[in-house]
Amino acid sequence: MDIVYIRDLKVDTVIGIFDWERRIRQTVSLDLEMATDIRRAAATDSIDDTLNYKAVGKRLIAFIQASEFQLVETLAEKAAAIVLEEFGVRWVRLQLSKPGALRGSRDVGVIIERGERS
Ligand SMILES: Nc1nc2c(c(=O)[nH]1)N=C([C@H](O)[C@@H](O)CO)CN2
């Protein structure tokens, strides 16, 4: 299995459980690992034969910017579903980080894996 990845994709959104969080936009960061087979693309050297990380990134930016979830869990689950369902990815590992949300910590968040890895 090969992996196409996106690291530290920063997106502004409304997220959080507190009243003050519903009135502002905060930055979340995504790390994605997406299972794929890169051999065909490596042989043809064609973008049409691979998972286009720019297309995935643009779709997730648009979705997250428009979203207004309370929990990082919900946002992570929805973002993973987009990757699996819209881009034909079999397995994804997604880390959603919320910087500065916990005093004394750089960031907090969730890491989820969805789909079949094999
Ligand atoms: N497991 C979670 N715990 C907490 C979340 C969350 O989304 N998932 N959110 C908050 C608050 O919104 C916090 O980020 C504000 O600083 C607290 N705990």
Beta carbon of 24 within 6 Å of any ligand 1 atom? no
Nearest to 72 by CA among 20, 27, 23, 116: 27
pLDDT of res. 114: 98
Task: Give the percent of the chain with pLDDT over 90.
Answer: 98
Q: What's CA 69's distance to the chain center, in Å?
A: 15
pLDDT of res. 117: 86
Say which CATH class 2-115 falls into: alpha beta
- Mean residue pLDDT of the chain comes to 97
Give the residue, by CA position, lying nearest to ligand 1 atom 14.
Answer: 101
Render pLDDT for 51-108 as a digit per residue (tens, 0 to 9).
999 999 999 999 999 999 999 999 999 999 999 999 999 999 999 999 999 999 999 9
Report CA(74)–ligand 1 centroid distance (Å).
11
Domain chopping of the chain, boundaries = 2-115
Q: In angstroms, rounded to a whole number, what is the distance separating the alpha carbons of residues 18 and 40?
A: 48
